[in-house]
Amino acid sequence: MRQVRVVFTSMVSDSVLAPFSILALIGSMVYLNWQLTIIVFFGMPLIVVPIAVIGKKLRMMGKKDEEEDSKLLDFTQEAIQGLMIVKAFAGEQREATRFQKASLEMARRQVWREKFRLYAEPFVEITASIAMALVVCMGAYVILKSDHASMSNAEFITFLFILTRFYPQFKKISTIYVKLQKSLASADRIFDIIDLPEAVAEKPDAVPLATFSDRIEFDRVAFRYSTDKPTALSNFSLTIPKGRKIALVGRTGAGKSTVARLLPRFYDASEGRILLDGTDVRDVTLKSLRQQIAVVSQETILFNSTIRENISYGKPGATLDEVRAVANAANADEFIDKLPKGYDTRIGERGGQLSGGQRQRLAIARALLADTPILILDEATSALDNESEALVQAAIEKLMENRTVIIIAHRLSTVRKADEIIVMEDGHDVERGSYEALQAARGKFYELLQGSELHKAG
């Protein structure tokens, strides 16, 4: 982005004024002697070609630098986010070595690029000077030594003076071109990201979805994340009447989270349909669909802003009283009031200044304030200790009141309150029923209870 900004700051005046100056100087040269002006322009390729080659090379080098710098940034962010794992496995030296290697490689590329630029500029200067000298000498010989000289000595000297003024202006254009190529390398990187195809596209004739009032239907839904991966969901059908609480359980990779991601159209089903009140979710606007659904997940996403701004993210115009009310319902007001600035306390990147339980309660408060009719709980308590889980679980119970809920859970305390439990395996549902019925059947659900967190949490 910094390289792109150069185009719109230091280069703007030169890029506007230099072309007008060049046109005026060309007009003057043509007026004095059009034949000699033509000879001058025959020599221009000797200047233009090296500049074009150098500019293209710099653009390629700049694009490579942008790609590699992005990798270094990703590596640094990954190392910081995984700092506890690095420390736990005594990997500090290994990570430091990786960072040093990547940094030295970046420095080597930048030094090489600067060397190329520093060598290229004198090369262009020398080439241009030689070209201009040859053109002038050839022109002088043709014009002044002919039997019928078309210009006087005074006119020729004036022509040379104009030519000396022409070259610096042309040089400005060439400098702008070289800088532009470097900037375009950064712009290419930006547009590569912007132009990435969306995983989900909204139809041109999509209509707003009315407030959810009846049922959710998964009609023979199949899905895979990419063609080189196995099917994550296959021939899955489920009807959830309004107000019902459905729990999806199963081992990792069984397809539970896929179901939750398809409903708000984070992805589109490969086969089958997902209906809200009989309307295919692909036929409605994304905004109106997602305004009906709140998601509370295991990986709580918070922003580097104040607690109040994070809670009111789904309802930006919320008053402080509204924010306090939902924070109280989510059992978050107690720890918020102890913070230095209360609801105006900034919580750091990804809420890093808060504990896991505190972050989760803020996410629940945010969902409460959004007040959506549909709620998705994606393993919302699986990463918490017992004390935090008790507070979060109490907040979740308030959040689930009067809502249609899809629960993806490992913990027994949440699953037990579901109206129906769906046991998933390899993208299929293999058992359905109430908690008591499935436990009595001693099938797949019973097996999960015996050795999993579902059982331990009970």
pLDDT digits (tens, 9 = 90+) for 229-250: 778 899 999 999 999 999 998 8
Q: How far is the C-alpha of 390 from the C-alpha of 376, rounded, in Å?
A: 19
Nearest-10 crossing angle of helices 12-32, 34-42: 130
Residue among 94, 21, 338, 88 at smallest CA distance from 327: 338
The rounded distance, in Å, linking the Cα atoms of 458 and 247 is: 16
Predicted TM-score (pTM) above 0.75: no
Q: What is the pLDDT of residues 304-346, one digit of tens each?
A: 788 898 888 878 888 999 999 888 888 888 888 888 888 898 8
Within 10 Å of residue 391's Cβ, how many Cβ atoms? 21
Helix/strand/coil for 212: coil
Q: What are the tens digits of pLDDT across the range 64-87?
A: 666 666 667 766 766 666 665 566
CA distance 148 to 162: 23
pLDDT at residue 455, rounded to an integer: 46
The phi and psi torsions of 103 (rounded to 5 degrees) equal -65, -40
- For the chain, the maximum distance between any two Cα atoms, rounded to a whole number of angstroms, is 117
* C-beta separation of 270 from 247 below 8 A: no
Kindly state the average pLDDT of the residues 450-458. 51
pLDDT (0 to 100) of residue 426: 87
Indicate the pLDDT class of residue 190, thresholds 50, 70 and 90: low
N residues, the chain: 458
Q: Is residue 27 within 8 Å of 19, Cβ to Cβ?
A: no
121-124: long-range contacts at Cβ-Cβ below 8 A with a sequence spacing of 24 or more? 123/50, 123/54, 124/47, 124/50, 124/51, 124/54, 124/174
Residue 453 scores a pLDDT above 50: no
Copy the structure tokens of residue 125: 């200067």
Q: Which residues pair with 166 in a beta bridge?
A: none
Ranges of H-type helices in 145-239: 153-194
Q: Could you give the domains of the chain?
A: 2-194 (1.20.1560.10), 215-457 (3.40.50.300)
